[in-house]
Amino acid sequence: MEQDPITYPGAFTYYATAAPTVTDPADMTVIEGKPASFAVNVTGEPAPEVTWEVSADGGATWNPVTEGVSADGLIVSLASVELAQSGNQYRATATNEVAGVTSAPATLTVRPAPMAPTVTSPENATVVEGESASFTVGVTGVPEPEVAWEVSTDRGATWVPVSAGLSEDGLTLTVASVELAQSGNRYRATATNEVATVTSEPATLVVKALAPVVEQETGKQLAETGMDVPARLWLAGVTALILGGGLVAGFRLVRRGVAR
């Protein structure tokens, strides 16, 4: 751009000059595979020349950008960004015969393209009544999926949400102190993000009853050699054993850890 001269009669012609100024480009956040661009405005006399630089190490070093620059130099465009470019910084320098000035850098943030979730299926669990049972799944997806659990008490005909016993990340469900009535319950997980919702195959909980334990009273002994298989007999709250027709007292039946 030519300057308008100021002419002093009989003396000299003076051309006004001004140091350049440059605005700062704005940060950009885009999805991988999409385009991104950075723009600046400049002033100065003579009109400044604009160049661009990129840093891939947090501003420690800078390299010239030659591709994607508009004819006037005010815009740099990236056609299809990659995840590896996330964090790159871009800045512009405006230079004329008076001075050179550099903008503050703008940062490019590249996010992964959205991806539908996947969820693995939990495994069946078999436990003894009173114990805890756990079911675990793994999930993938972008954005990271939210995990929810459901339980069915009618072989999968209907499902209701489970809110208790979930781990912080939702990947594990723990059923505490299971009861015999819960045997046969089915549990499944759903993974949801902005793309879709998917549901795992169900896992089945099997609860086994506690086996009775026979304890001998202190100081009592029983020898079964040559005798028939013992039979139990209840006498006034005390368990006796009938062995070959003979009655032996001093034993009790323990179930669930409580003497009966």
SS (H, E, C) the chain: CCCCEEECCCCCEEECCEEEEECCCCCEEEECCCCEEEECCEEEECCCEEEEEEECCCCCCCEEECCCECCCCCEEEECCCCHHHCCCEEEEEEECCCCEEECCCEEEEEECCCEEEEECCCCCEEEECCCCEEEECCEEEECCCEEEEEEECCCCCCCEEECCCECCCCCEEEECCCCHHHCCCEEEEEEECCCCEEECCCEEEEEECCCCEEEECCCCCCCCCCCCCCEEEEECCEEEEEECCEEEEEEEEEECCEEC
Range(s) of the chain covered by CATH 2.60.40.10: 5-111, 115-208
Please compute the mean of the pLDDT values over residues 99-115 and round it to a whole number. Answer: 97
* Structure confidence at residue 1 (pLDDT): 44
- For the 115-208 domain, the top CATH level (class) is mainly beta
* Structure confidence at residue 13 (pLDDT): 61
Give 4's pLDDT tier (boundaries 50, 70, 90).
low
Least confident of 56-65, 146-155, 205-214, 243-252: 243-252
The pLDDT of residue 22 is above 60:
yes
Please compute the mean of the pLDDT values over residues 24-36 and round it to a whole number. Answer: 97
The pLDDT of residue 180 is above 80:
yes
User: Whole-number mean pLDDT of the chain?
Assistant: 86
Please compute the mean of the pLDDT values over residues 11-20 and round it to a whole number. Answer: 76
Give me the percent of the chain exceeding a pLDDT of 90.
Answer: 74
Please compute the mean of the pLDDT values over residues 73-85 and round it to a whole number. Answer: 97
Give me the percent of the chain exceeding a pLDDT of 70.
Answer: 76
Least confident of 78-87, 111-120, 227-236: 227-236
Under CATH, domain 5-111 is a member of which superfamily?
Immunoglobulins (2.60.40.10)
Please compute the mean of the pLDDT values over residues 186-199 and round it to a whole number. Answer: 98
- Read off the pTM: 0.62
* Structure confidence at residue 42 (pLDDT): 98
* Structure confidence at residue 230 (pLDDT): 52
Please compute the mean of the pLDDT values over residues 111-140 and round it to a whole number. Answer: 97
* Structure confidence at residue 216 (pLDDT): 55
